[in-house]
Chains A and B, each alone.
Chain A
Amino acid sequence: MIGNYFAAALRNLLRNRVYTAINLFGLSLGFAAALLIALYVRDELSYDRFFPGYHDVYLLTETKDYTNRSLPVERWDFSSPDLAAKLSAQFPQIATIARVMTPDDPPHIRHDQVEAEETDFLWVDPSFFRVMPLKSLAGDAQTALTTPDSVVLTRTAARKYFGKDLPLGELLEVNPAMGTDAAKVSTAFNTPHAMRVAAVIEDLPSNSYVKGEVFGSSLAAYSKFALYDLTQDQGPFRMNAYTFIRLRPGAPVQELRQELSAFASHDAPVYPPGFTVGMHLTPISDLHLSPAAESPISPRGERSHLVALTAIGLLIILSASFNFVSLMTARAAQRAIETGVRKASGALRSQLITQFLGEAIIYVALAMAVAVALSAVLLPRVNSVLKQRIAFNYLGDPVLLCSLLLITVLLGLVAGAYPAFVLSAYRPAAVLKGTLAQGVSGGMVRRSLVTLQFAIMIGLGVTTVTNLAPDAVLSRQPAASRWLQHPSHRRRLRPFRPSLSRPGGHATWGRRGGLRQLRGTPQRRNDRFCTGSGRG
């Protein structure tokens, strides 16, 4: 019986090639768009869950609460570099603590003929890879940075500088390039140093708060930590670190938070009057979608954007399904004779419904297969635009595979239900005599679906145009945003901020996320750039 059904369905598809192509391609395109959106949303929702024991890892975040209540509370991802030692000594619940410092300007790195301003360089404590245990490809990342002149590279950085995956023990020339202020402290901060590759790790996934390719030991005499230690006399606000804490498994977090609050009031560095500073433990896995803060290592995601994107994905699927149902129903009349003959031969209505639902599921499965192929082809391009490394390994991801299968069956059932019920309701006496009543083919429903489909498409079109306004591009493009977050870039852009925030002012971005073109006029006062309050 299945063979007979399958033959009828397949030949019907082949007989109506243009219709089949339009119907399947429309559905595939909708699925592919929704699938790419789903992959992005899932990526955003799964930040920093890629290393073992991530649920015990927290970032020490701070809030600056002004005594003057009219001023908004400031949130910081950073904290004083001095805090780590104090916290470690005072709180036995802390298993490991590690600090990270981002360079103000990218260090200059060279190996043989390869040299680069390394924007993905981080100075980290030796304990960093115990807080975030990442897979070592060579050496032991967890102990590698205890030697002062050591670096840990990702596979990408290893290939970039050495042209191979495992350059363990080889030397990399690193010039910290910390600028004139640091030069006044020591020339070491602006001269090249040989750093030995002590470990190579897998690339960090793109859904990681920490963005780094080259990790220099904080123990190096020319690290930013060393500069901090040498400038203790300049006060507590000159430099900041990101403090990552791994708690002992099962440590009572709520209790620790209360103790930390008391610690912030009594034992934290003395700040000038006018505000109080609160200390908080933000779970690393919640960090990406937590409220925005000052100077994050990588920009936050927006939960509201994810909700909006999810809604758009659902609307796209809905619209594609409406299109599918409309076309299926429109063609249903051509299957009327088949329905009549099968009914006259003793087919129950339920058997015909099963047959036509089965066909719809096969249609949807075909569309899904095309959509999966389309997504696999388009994903690298999407990743390139978003500067992400979203993976689409559907065969090695049981959850994703099951979801795709479930969606296929569900959508097949939903999309095929109406045509199946319309077809199976044909009266054999009428169709076999060729007097099928008008209106049975669901014209009203089709018109309603097409109207809804147009409404959705217009809504999506308006949303797209609205969201592509220059200002929105500047504020929402992750690569641009990350570029702007970099301290050195922030400084360079300050003069442009007011004009960027005005209509007509905008920035465009190169393939690698660098600034390609800036439209706007820098403000000057007494031949010096002045700061503004615009975006950036």
Chain B
Amino acid sequence: MLKLEHVSKVYRTTDVETAALDDVSLEVKPGEFLAVMGPSGCGKSTLLNILGLIDSPTSGSYWFRGEDIARCSEEELTLRRRAGIGFVFQSFNLIDDLNVTENVEVALLYVGVPRAERRERIAAALERVDLAHRARHMPKQLSGGQQQRVAVARALVANPKLILADEPTGNLDTANGEAVMEMLTRIMNGGTTIVMVTHSEEHAKRAHRVVNMLDGRLVDTTEA
């Protein structure tokens, strides 16, 4: 599904050069649930961004569904991202000016799904996260847990093969965090590959495999 070979990512400013990833090699199999752990600043999010095609490695190879995309242009990455990847972020990242339905719809807009089918799929996705009754609400009218469930619905509505979750429970209380994890587990059980960055060992236990990172390198892998 995903394969990184000797991937490095260096951020350069005029004075400073920071290595966010340093010679990382990693393979994620289809349907696998992978948790990435490590201290803040160790490169977890950079790894997730590269896996999600919203950032490019400085060196190394990245095989995305059997295709080396390390040297793809931004437009080529965008086209591969469409419908192939769903994102869940710590800070939810819902668009304030759109209601729940419209926020979920954003994931289908660029895939070319007809309007009627969009409506059906949005309704089904909201049912799955138990928010059908909040379809017309604006994000500000929802609790943090509800907002994250909307973000999960947005991530799964396009039926992506891969969902990337960057600390999805980081801003939630225990109950809401558990609910979100339950949803991700159900999605994974449906055959979707999930890569999740987390600080919670409890939540990481739901993954098939946990990799630990330190200073931009993979230092440890634990199978469930």
A positions within 8 Å CB-CB of B: 1, 4, 7-8, 11-12, 15, 337-338, 340-349, 351, 427-429, 432-434
Which of B79, B85, B97, B154 is the most central at the interface, judged by chain A CB atoms within 10 Å of its CB?
Answer: B97
Given A347-B109, A428-B54, A429-B54, are A341 and B97 also a contact pair (CB < 8 Å)?
no
Query: Which residues of chain A are near B33, meaning CB under 8 Å?
Result: none
Q: Is the CB–CB distance between B97 and A4 below 8 Å?
A: no
Q: Is the CB–CB distance between A4 and B106 below 8 Å?
A: yes
Q: With A and B bound together, what is the CA distance between A84 and B92 in angstroms?
A: 88
A350 to chain B, nearest CB (A): 8
Query: Which residues of chain B are near A433, meaning CB under 8 Å?
Result: 45, 89, 166
Q: With A and B bound together, what is the CA distance between A12 and B94 in angstroms?
A: 14
Q: Is the CB–CB distance between A8 and B78 below 8 Å?
A: no
Selected contact of A432 from candidates B85, B89, B99, B158, CB within 8 Å: B89
**B50-82 residues at the A interface, CB under 8 angstroms:** 52, 54-55, 74-75, 78-79, 81-82
Given A341-B95, A343-B78, are A4 and B87 also a contact pair (CB < 8 Å)?
no
Q: Does B83 contact A (CB under 8 A)?
A: yes
Selected contact of A8 from candidates B45, B87, B93, B98, CB within 8 Å: B98
Pairs A–B under 8 Å by Cβ, sample size 30: A1-B109, A4-B98, A4-B109, A7-B98, A8-B98, A11-B97, A338-B97, A341-B94, A341-B106, A343-B78, A344-B54, A344-B81, A344-B85, A344-B87, A345-B82, A345-B106, A345-B107, A345-B109, A345-B154, A346-B79, A346-B81, A347-B78, A348-B75, A349-B75, A351-B110, A427-B55, A429-B49, A429-B55, A432-B54, A432-B89
| Sample of 13 more A-B contacts, CB < 8 Å, known A8-B97, A347-B109 | A4-B109, A7-B102, A11-B97, A342-B109, A343-B54, A344-B52, A344-B87, A345-B107, A349-B74, A349-B75, A429-B54, A429-B55, A433-B89
Instruction: Return the chain B residue nearest A338 by Cβ.
Output: B95
Q: With A and B bound together, what is the CA distance between A429 and B53 in angstroms?
A: 9
A505 to chain B, nearest CB (A): 61
Main secondary structure, interface of A, reads: helix
Query: Which residues of chain B are near A432, meaning CB under 8 Å?
Result: 54, 87, 89, 93
Query: Which residues of chain B are near A348, meaning CB under 8 Å?
Result: 75, 78-79, 110
Query: Which residues of chain A are near B52, meaning CB under 8 Å?
Result: 344
B158 to chain A, nearest CB (A): 8
Query: Which residues of chain A are near B45, meaning CB under 8 Å?
Result: 433
Query: Which residues of chain B are near A428, meaning CB under 8 Å?
Result: 54
Q: Is the CB–CB distance between A346 and B54 below 8 Å?
A: no
Q: With A and B bound together, what is the CA distance between A351 and B97 in angstroms?
A: 19
Number of interface residues of B (CB under 8 A): 33
Q: Is the CB–CB distance between B110 and A345 below 8 Å?
A: yes
Q: With A and B bound together, what is the CA distance between A341 and B97 in angstroms?
A: 13
Query: Which residues of chain A are near B91, meaning CB under 8 Å?
Result: 434
Query: Which residues of chain A are near B105, meaning CB under 8 Å?
Result: 4
Q: Is the CB–CB distance between A347 and B110 below 8 Å?
A: yes
Q: With A and B bound together, what is the CA distance between A349 and B110 in angstroms?
A: 12
Query: Which residues of chain A are near B120, meaning CB under 8 Å?
Result: none
Q: With A and B bound together, what is the CA distance between A338 and B95 in angstroms?
A: 5
Instruction: Return the chain B residue nearest A435 by Cβ.
Output: B45
Q: Does B96 contact A (CB under 8 A)?
A: yes
Q: With A and B bound together, what is the CA distance between A7 and B100 in angstroms?
A: 12
A420 to chain B, nearest CB (A): 17
Q: With A and B bound together, what is the CA distance between A343 and B166 in angstroms?
A: 17
Instruction: Return the chain A residue nearest B107 by Cβ.
Output: A345
Q: Is the CB–CB distance between A342 and B75 below 8 Å?
A: no
B62 to chain A, nearest CB (A): 15
Instruction: Return the chain B residue nearest A9 by Cβ.
Output: B97
Instruction: Return the chain A residue nearest B99 by Cβ.
Output: A7
Instruction: Return the chain B residue nearest A334 by Cβ.
Output: B96
Q: Does B111 contact A (CB under 8 A)?
A: yes
Q: With A and B bound together, what is the CA distance between A345 and B166 in angstroms?
A: 15
Selected contact of A337 from candidates B54, B95, B166, CB within 8 Å: B95
Proximity string of chain B (31-50) to chain A, C-beta cutoff 8 Å, 1 when within and 0 when not = 00000000000000100010
Query: Which residues of chain B are near A347, meaning CB under 8 Å?
Result: 78, 109-110
Query: Which residues of chain B are near A342, meaning CB under 8 Å?
Result: 106, 109-110
Query: Which residues of chain A are near B97, meaning CB under 8 Å?
Result: 7-8, 11-12, 15, 338
B168 to chain A, nearest CB (A): 13
Query: Which residues of chain A are near B166, meaning CB under 8 Å?
Result: 433
Q: With A and B bound together, what is the CA distance between A12 and B98 in angstroms?
A: 9
**B101-122 residues at the A interface, CB under 8 angstroms:** 102, 105-107, 109-111
Which of B74, B89, B109, B166 is the most central at the interface, judged by chain A CB atoms within 10 Å of its CB?
Answer: B109
B82 to chain A, nearest CB (A): 3
B79 to chain A, nearest CB (A): 7
Q: With A and B bound together, what is the CA distance between A181 and B154 in angstroms?
A: 96
A355 to chain B, nearest CB (A): 10
Q: With A and B bound together, what is the CA distance between A167 and B94 in angstroms?
A: 73
Q: Is the CB–CB distance between B93 and A15 below 8 Å?
A: no
Q: With A and B bound together, what is the CA distance between A348 and B110 in angstroms?
A: 9
Q: With A and B bound together, what is the CA distance between A348 and B106 in angstroms?
A: 13
Q: With A and B bound together, what is the CA distance between A340 and B105 in angstroms?
A: 15
Q: Is the CB–CB distance between A15 and B75 below 8 Å?
A: no
Q: With A and B bound together, what is the CA distance between A56 and B211 in angstroms?
A: 91
Q: With A and B bound together, what is the CA distance between A433 and B91 in angstroms?
A: 8
Q: With A and B bound together, what is the CA distance between A237 and B166 in angstroms?
A: 98
Instruction: Return the chain B residue nearest A15 by Cβ.
Output: B97
Nearest 10 CB-CB pairings of A with B: A346-B82, A11-B97, A346-B110, A429-B49, A429-B55, A428-B54, A338-B95, A429-B54, A8-B97, A345-B107
Query: Which residues of chain A are near B82, meaning CB under 8 Å?
Result: 345-346
